[in-house]
Structure 1
């Protein structure tokens, strides 16, 4: 089935049955209009962004951060300086180049930049920094290493729990009764998705009296299948094949571009396996795989970056960590798009009820990687 980008964008906007059901009762990060389009309080304000080695075209967290930065810059009427890291060795030099370029607010995208951001913040106390998916805590004391760092964190286990439940429901309907996941690097921003996913599958089994199995991740042992990086390459495809070979109906690749390898592996297998997207609404971000995406587990990095930059521009930089949750709409599920008409009866209502219970605290979704 071929699904156009236009159709996807419309679906993301008007699929009220899912969007309204799963939006969460907490308020989202403040929209760009909160500044009224005013100029920054400081005429020298210059927002800047540095990607991790995945680059800005990863259809995932780097691209989402860039969208948020671009939105903030447009609202403020300023030019954002954005640099792309080609490898992990680029982080320090890229951040140094932004500092030399007179950046006053620098956001680093991803856990892998934590040490470079921490060092730069300590050395440049007059520059404000944001860091996605990390505390920039080299000291290990549970807080950022400098007062000019704002951690931008997400409790994605909550949204992945809903994704795991939906995956189990789909697999039970398809008859395979098995789902699987694999990750890029074995780091907390990846394993937090996997923890929530397998717990959501378990919840479905408890509620329905089924035996949908999950493979690729053992939460108790904190061990599973990983590619060792975030690149879409032969290693990622082989890892996907090892999961597909176990007969899964749904596969959850957690790690930016590795979804491309999973997509290729599914096509080569000739199976009807579907995927869960990660970070962004993948069916919209990459229409080429839309017919394989059951639903996406999103963390709204774009909104968080946008708000962080706008606050800094107003002179209201706050180093208190932001934590995206279901309640504040920082994480959540996307629309099911064209799969909505094929879902098990009542599934969206069940997901809404689960989400409400998580928000109220009646269901505790726990991961060793959850923000504390």
Structure 2
């Protein structure tokens, strides 16, 4: 499969050249252990975005993957948490100064700082999660020592949108995000495409609030913090009769969950990046499903490869085909969704992989 980027990216995400992206559709990283018992002079390091390593989402998944690789290599992971965007560059610099051999940066917001540090330190390997590291939009990674780990989550979000439409009793579902970056809006757009496909196939008329596919814009909180703004944003959608809600942006789901519980009626939530039923059992009773990224596997593989002197900067692009993206089981909602739904989702997944159903995104073919 050839992957091309169809629109200019924001916040550091940008177009890959054809040669880069052809390589980007390799199989999902395999879990290969390092040599046992061998002492290594190797220091893996990691810096979070403002969501922190306990965000129950993509920072946490990246941390788990890097930690597992470090454990297998017999070394300690050095990590530093960012509390705001002003911490990004100084935190990366501090890791460079500590002699890190590979530095993993988490999130598109760290793209500019990552590229600057990688350019200034060509002997250090860098891995960036959720960004293409092409800030000048010339179709190439901006430094030869950066490996991007990115995901065509629109494919998985399509399945979640279809499931949301099948589950909805009010005929209204909603979504909102932290900021309108491609790695956020790709969830929202794929979700809306899935709802529309259900409407077309089933003759339903489920509405999607919070995202306008034509305008490629929607409802955003302006940040990724679990705060009153996020809660009020969720409440605004709940007040419009949504009964399925997709919050996209790390910890903002916590505010959405609080608003759902206060609403006093049955509203399902869809998680992003990780299976929230497993990473945050406190919201398990609200979770219809989660849209998954293999962040932990991709990060594990990249750090392990660096520790074994096998670092490869070929971008990893997660898709349904290579199992880099997917959706979680229905868990507590298994008895609440239509009995035929799982079979329909399996068929849809196969059709997307085969190219029979087109799911558009900035990473789409």
Structures share fold, TM-score greater than 0.5: yes
SS at 1:44's partner residue?
A: coil
| Matched residue, 2:260 | 266
Q: TM-score, normalised by structure 1?
A: 0.89
1:317 counterpart residue number: 311
Per-residue CA distance 1:206-248 (angstroms, 9 max, x = gap): 1111111111000110111000000010100111011111111
SS at match of 1:260: helix
Q: Secondary structure at the match of 1:341?
A: coil
SS of equivalent to 1:221: coil
Out of 81, 84, 89, the residue aligned to residue 86 of structure 2 is: 89
SS in structure 2 at match of 1:306:
helix
Which of residues 232, 245, 249 in structure 2 aligns to 1:251? 245
Distance 1:29 1:137 in 2: 22
The answer to whether 1:194 aligns with 2:191 is no
**Aligned mates of 1:66, 1:244 — CA distance in 2:** 33
Counterpart in the other structure of 1:215:
209
User: Does 2:325 correspond to 1:349?
Assistant: no
* Contact in 1 for aligned 2:147/2:312 (Cα 8 Å): yes
Q: Relative to 1, partners in 2 of residues 1:342 and 1:82: Cα closer, same or farther, differing over 3 Å?
A: same
Shift of 1:138: 2.0
Task: Identify if the C-alpha distance between structure 1 residues 37 and 280 changes in structure 2 by more than 3 Å, giving closer, same or farther.
Answer: farther
Equivalent residue, structure 2, for 1:119: 116
| Unaligned runs of at least 5 residues, structure 2 | 1-25
Aligned residue for 2:127, secondary structure, equals strand
2:165 maps to 168
TM-fit CA distance, 1:27: 5.7
Pick aligned residue for 1:158 from 155, 172, 178: 155
1:27-78: per-residue Cα shift (whole Å, max 9, x none)?
6421143x354648xx322111100011001011100100001110111111
Correspondence for 2:69: 72
8 Å CA contact 2:274, 2:291 repeated in 1: yes
1:206 and 1:162 mapped to 2: Cα distance? 14
Counterpart of 1:7 in structure 2 is none
1:12 maps to which residue?
none
**Equivalent position of 1:16 in the other structure:** none
Indicate conservation of the 8 Å contact 1:154/1:371, yes or no: no
CA shift for structure 1 position 370 = 2.4
Which of 143, 165, 174 is 1:146 aligned to?
Answer: 143
- Aligned CA-pair RMSD: 1.4
Do the aligned residues in 2 keep the contact of 1:32 with 1:306 (CA within 8 Å)?
A: no
In structure 2, distance between residues paired with 1:156 and 1:37: 35
Cα distance between partner residues in 1 of 2:326 and 2:198: 18
Q: Please, which runs of 5 or more residues in structure 1 have no aligned partner? A: 1-25
Higher helix share: 1
Contact 1:275 1:292 in 2 (8 A): yes
Instruction: Pick the aligned partner of 1:48 from 21, 45, 61.
Output: 45
Kindly indicate whether the alpha-carbon contact (under 8 Å) linking 1:323 and 1:371 is maintained by their aligned counterparts in 2.
Answer: no
What's the secondary structure of 1:278's corresponding residue? strand
Q: 2:363 aligns with which of 348, 363, 370?
A: 370
In structure 2, the partner of 1:185 is 179
- State the number of aligned residues: 340
Partners of 2:28 and 2:316 within 8 A in 1: no
Partner of 1:15: none
Q: 1:39 to 1:218 in 2, by over 3 A?
A: farther
1: distance between equivalents of 2:309 and 2:123? 13
Work out whether residues 29 and 328 of structure 1, in 8 Å CA contact, stay in contact via their aligned partners in 2: no
| Post-superposition offset of 1:354 | 0.3
Does residue 43 of structure 2 align to residue 30 of structure 1? Answer: no
Alpha-carbon spacing, 1:37–1:170, altered in 2? closer, same or farther (3 Å):
farther
Give the secondary-structure state (helix, strand or coil) at the position aligned to 2:359: coil
Q: Deviations over 1:2-29 (max 9, x none)?
A: xxxxxxxxxxxxxxxxxxxxxxxx9642
Q: 1:243 to 1:38 in 2, by over 3 A?
A: farther
Q: Which runs of 4+ in 1 moved over 2 A?
A: 26-29, 35-40, 369-372
Q: Could you state the TM-score of these two structures normalised by the residue count of structure 2?
A: 0.91
Aligned-residue offset at 1:135? 1.6
**CA separation in 2, counterparts of 1:221 and 1:205?**
20
